[in-house]
Chain A
Amino acid sequence: GENVEQHPSTLSVQEGDSAVIKCTYSDSASNYFPWYKQELGKGPQLIIDIRSNVGEKKDQRIAVTLNKTAKHFSLHITETQPEDSAVYFCAASRRGQGAQKLVFGQGTRLTINP
């Protein structure tokens, strides 16, 4: 089955700087890669996603890149703000096959220092 590895487990950056979180996946059939932000005591919230037919997607300060050949994808947050502090999870799944289970990475605790 699919295995998703996420690094780093913790990341601390100064406010205004950029943060990058990386994930690798094992199943070459995976074609949907979402990123979630989880605040303490809450469920995950989708912040951006990318499909395998696209190499990069951007939404304001957040961008995701995908390298299908290397089977890795990354989250980039620019101009970080204190409210970006949270735990971020990457995930992978196949589209169009049954229940389309999401497999999550281990998570990255991002801390933005004022």
Chain B
Amino acid sequence: GAVVSQHPSWVICKSGTSVKIECRSLDFQATTMFWYRQFPKQSLMLMATSNEGSKATYEQGVEKDKFLINHASLTLSTLTVTSAHPEDSSFYICSARDPGAGGTEAFFGQGTRLTVV
């Protein structure tokens, strides 16, 4: 199947700093990518839909100015957590669909564990 890669796999940052997480589709082009957040022992909650060449679509309750999404190319979307606070500590996961393979199955990255201290 298609491969989606996230980087870094884990990061620790100080409160008040910003952190950038990258999501790449390695063997296909994705006009749309999805960003999820998962707290311990909870389900995946969609944060935003990243659209190549246009603005991201944020889910209700997600602060767009805090979670900056950039989808500058067909294989890369980035999520920047700005002015991070301990409550932003979570597991962030991206996904994408391969339009060349039917576009239905969602492929997930390995996730990024963010710890804000």
Contact = CB atoms under 8 A, between A and B. Distances in A.
A101 B43 contact: no
Contact of B44 (A95, A104, A109): A104
A105 B34 CA distance: 17
Contact of A107 (B1, B43, B108): B43
Interface of A: 32, 34, 36, 41-46, 49, 51, 89, 95, 99-107, 109
A34 B108 CA distance: 13
Given A46-B1, A49-B105, A101-B34, 18 more contacts: A32-B104, A34-B105, A42-B111, A43-B93, A43-B109, A43-B110, A43-B111, A89-B43, A95-B104, A99-B51, A100-B97, A100-B103, A102-B34, A102-B46, A104-B45, A105-B43, A106-B43, A107-B43
Interface residues of B, number: 27
